[in-house]
Amino acid sequence: MKRAAFIFYTFVLVAATLLTQQSDFPKLTGPYLGQKPPGMVPEIFAPGIVSTDKNEHSQAIFSNDGNDLFWSYYDQGKHIIMHMQRVGGHWIGPKKFLQRDLKDGNPFFSADGSKLIFQSDRRDKREDGSLNLDFWYVEKMTDGWSAAKIFDFPPNSEKWQLYGCQVLSGNFYFTSKRDEKSAEFQLYISRFNGERWQQAEPMPEIFNSSPVNWTPFVSPDESYIVFSSDRRGKGVGYNACDLYISYKNSDDEWTIPVHMGDAINTDNIERFPWVSPDGKCLFFVRGFGDVYWVSAKIIEELRPKEKK
């Protein structure tokens, strides 16, 4: 009898705890988790929900229909993907996605929104025991998400590839660390010829002109690219990175990247840029923690005026 009573009261306590946690979590409705969109000064996005005391370590990305939100955080050598979903107008979560405590992180959507692509070390290690970091993906199904599958080779290779972005043409932009022992991260593109991806090639020298150039976001029409770089001269390495932007000109050539200004960039590190599918908001991570967002009007304000 005592054992039955103990089990009953334990169940009641656990149920009460879960109900309390659910009631404490804010009821979120509307686009962007119901957060008021920012102006021209960056603000922390969804404090206490997305931006927490954890080390947020990726762009925050919404699906094309605005009903799914993904991001990842870093914790003791692990990358953990988080997911929130809008059901019946209300946002549910956040909760772990894929339920795997290794290096699944930095999620982004395929150009058509049908795949969630992410970097992972789940492929077997190389013969020398070093890690592989490849692009994997899951597909959106009517009842959830498929099992994870490895992306094609290329853009995957025997080197590290991470921090990617796919555009409407199918082209795949990403960061690669071609020498695991090196501190250098550089930008690459794997072009899609209508049937398959071509061997990856480095982006032009104007992008890879310093040791660290990474976390690219390229607009769906490839008219501009935002990326993180340590080229400003405030030091060398990850902690010296700011956000830069380059545009395609009328000759279909990339302009020299320009610093996005002191409203966006600080003495801290800025990286993981991402523009919402509606083109209204620029998200990025500042420091080793919070996700920020700002009006994407800054992108047009920085666009160079071409001579007529």
Domain ranges of the chain: 38-301
Whether residue 216 contacts residue 227, with contact meaning beta carbons closer than 8 Å, is answered with yes
Check if the beta carbon of residue 236 is closer than 8 Å to that of residue 211: yes
Q: Give the pLDDT mean for 194-206.
A: 95
Q: Could you report the per-residue pLDDT of 221-248, keeping only the tens digit for each?
A: 999 999 999 998 766 667 789 999 999 9
Q: Is the pLDDT of residue 16 over 50?
A: no
Q: What is the pLDDT of residue 38?
A: 97
Tens of pLDDT, residue by residue over 28-57, are 999 999 999 999 999 999 999 999 999 999
Given pLDDT bands bounded at 50, 70 and 90, which one contains residue 102?
A: low
CA distances in angstroms from 52 to 24, 34, 287, 290, listed in the order given: 16, 17, 13, 7
Three-class SS of the chain: CHHHHHHHHHHHHHHHHHHHHHHHCCCCECHHHHCCCCCCCCEECCECCCECCCEECCCCEECCCCCEEEEEEEECCEEEEEEEEEECCEEEEEEECCCCCCECEEEEECCCCCEEEEEECCCCCCCCCCCCCEEEEEEEECCEECCCEECCCCCCCCCEEEEEEECCCCCEEEEEECCCCCCCEEEEEECECCCCECCCEECCCCCCCCCEEEEEEECCCCCEEEEEECCCCCCCCHHHCEEEEEEECCCCCECCCEECCCCCCCCCCEEEEEECCCCCEEEEEECCCCEEEEECHHHHHCCCCCCC
Sign of torsion, CA 245 34 139 290? Answer: positive
CATH of domain 38-301: 2.120.10.30
Segment 151-160 shows an average pLDDT of 89
For residue 157, give every residue at least 6 positions away whose Cβ sits within 8 Å of its Cβ, in sequence order, or none: 176, 200
Dig out the tokens for 201 from the structure: 């090639």
pLDDT winner (highest mean) among 31-35, 109-113, 288-292: 31-35
Distance from C-alpha of 190 to C-alpha of 174, rounded to nearest angstrom: 8
